Structure 1
């Protein structure tokens, strides 16, 4: 607990030393945000410092030699198309701006939470693209759309600031699974290629140390007495009710 408090203090001090005001962080206007502005923290990288993948390339399952059978992937079977997004790649980029047919889709992953979600990027009939803001709320990634600079919470599935504040994102049924299981269920699947246009070591996880240690790096607004903050869980939302099941 003492180490956790020290880590939190270090990150909060670093945040304030960046000179960001409570109402403007990483260049985003937080005036009137749906969540307290002082609970939105800088994760370290600048806006866009973690580069989203905007022109994803895919390979057939048989060509995905960079994947082992037990490697985790996010799988999306949508509009008759099956695609797998390796976590080893998402750890470095967090966002993939993709298209399924004519519909724009954004794949999102937060390495600190282990939360992967997919959304339709068609908002009010207009195609949007998203980037990584470099900001966090409750240790979860905040996206931003490049068209209006609104900030969007991945887990809250809505915009929390900017012109689109309060507008929801329509989630798509993405599956957290192993590569072997996804390929068995969807032998025709395509796989996000390591040819991303960026030089990254996709064989290694930059968050290994964080995942192996019990401390969290950033404070959260609520802590359960029953479960550790890093406990892996399944979350269910149904008709406005929320439940969680430890995995």
Structure 2
């Protein structure tokens, strides 16, 4: 997805400024960056020579921003980047972005802020809500500005579903038995949200069982996380949308009250008014499973209607078909693949002050795993064919799978529900929130700070 130089000419030419940019003095570096996307070729060539002579790699972040859109001037931009870094990645924007992620010690020149704003606001002026200059100062952000990438859509170009229409299971004739759904149950209120619909929307804002929640689904990292949206000390629940931006191939969502950008994977604000608020959204349990499995165990469930108010092809296996079938990423993210491939599925839990992942392959032939996260014993019930895992506290119990269901070491049968395991004497072992995702997202955001089952 690229924008031609012509699309930027009126925006950047002749030293024009995007709305809200305050640049008090003439900056030759900023002028050089602007020349990559507009103006005469002779001036551009002189500006590239200036950046070479200057000899500082702090301009590479700006040049890398330009490289993505400067179709006719890309070769000369790359030549400067190679001269300043000693790297040889040619016209491969993907590899240059990986290099940038691996080199956080290179602090971008201050001109990156106005230049990147000009480029991105030229795509969608609404991006100004997220990219105010005062938000983009390095000490005010929780992520690196140079690593924020446009995902190819405008603000709300992937529209959220807000309190969408739900129908009974008996009326959901459009669903196939092996269609995957996100299943959620809170206070007896059971819901199913098919991935074939959610892949087009990536976000719903709902009230389930009296609890305001949002499902943040990042198709690129294979992760759908159910967050509580009512935060202590705030009058109203947050309502979220998709910003159009990515960070290391993970979506940046935004809240509609403050227009802060949030990391979908961690549930934390990272850019904007709330970046230093210390807020972390609480997770609620959610499961991926087949429609057949969900409606069999939850006959009273309600499910998304095809009447979403949007025109999309909600057919089975349509949305992101090629991406889901590929082993490659669509956007750059550094990932350690020495143990797992970047798009292997894992089940992730971040609770009790710890973070731990279980590869879905670990459940092959072993549907019940007795384990722990930190000092908290857990039991996990998984089915990799359905991409389905549920986790529960197990206290001092040890469990195994039987033909009849779940049994403890004393031979007692337990009932598996969405909110707890229930013993024969009424003992309840609570569900623990977690979610499935691709390995690369887990590794990229947590890395050495987390543990992995079996390693």
TM-score (norm 1): 0.88
The one of 123, 127, 142 equivalent to 2:252 is 142
Runs of 4+ more than 6 Å apart = none
1:116 pairs with 2:224:
yes
Q: Cα offset for 1:240?
A: 2.6
Q: CA RMSD in A?
A: 2.6
1:72 pairs with 2:180:
yes
Query: 1:40–1:137: 8 Å Cα contact kept in structure 2?
Result: yes
Equivalents in 2 of 1:111, 1:6: separation in Å?
A: 24
1:187 pairs with 2:288:
no
Query: 1:26–1:42: 8 Å Cα contact kept in structure 2?
Result: no
User: Which residue of 2 is the match for residue 128 of structure 1?
Assistant: 238
Q: Cα offset for 1:64?
A: 0.7
Q: Which runs of 5+ in 1 are unaligned?
A: none
Q: Matched residue of 1:139: which SS?
A: coil
User: Which residue of 1 is the match for residue 351 of structure 2?
Assistant: 238
Q: Which has the higher contact order (CA 8 A, sep 6+)?
A: 1
Equivalents in 2 of 1:120, 1:132: separation in Å?
A: 17
1:46 pairs with 2:154:
yes
Q: Cα offset for 1:130?
A: 0.9
User: Which residue of 1 is the match for residue 127 of structure 2?
Assistant: 26
Query: 1:11–1:218: 8 Å Cα contact kept in structure 2?
Result: no
Equivalents in 2 of 1:11, 1:34: separation in Å?
A: 19
Q: Cα offset for 1:25?
A: 9.5
> Whose helix fraction is larger, Structure 1's or Structure 2's?
2
1:217–1:169: structure 2 CA closer, same or farther, 3 Å change rule?
A: same
Q: Cα offset for 1:10?
A: 9.6
Q: Matched residue of 2:253: which SS?
A: strand
Q: How does 1:135-174 map to 2 (within 5 A)?
A: 135-165=245-275, 166-174=278-286
Equivalents in 2 of 1:37, 1:17: separation in Å?
A: 10
Q: Matched residue of 1:112: which SS?
A: helix
Query: 2:163–2:207: 8 Å Cα contact kept in structure 1?
Result: no
> Whose strand fraction is larger, Structure 1's or Structure 2's?
1
1:211–1:6: structure 2 CA closer, same or farther, 3 Å change rule?
A: farther
Q: Which runs of 5+ in 2 are unaligned?
A: 1-90, 99-115, 361-455
- Number of residue-to-residue matches in the alignment: 239
User: Which residue of 2 is the match for residue 210 of structure 1?
Assistant: 323
Q: Matched residue of 2:161: which SS?
A: coil
1:54–1:9: structure 2 CA closer, same or farther, 3 Å change rule?
A: same
Query: 1:108–1:118: 8 Å Cα contact kept in structure 2?
Result: yes
Q: Cα offset for 1:238?
A: 3.3
Query: 2:181–2:193: 8 Å Cα contact kept in structure 1?
Result: yes
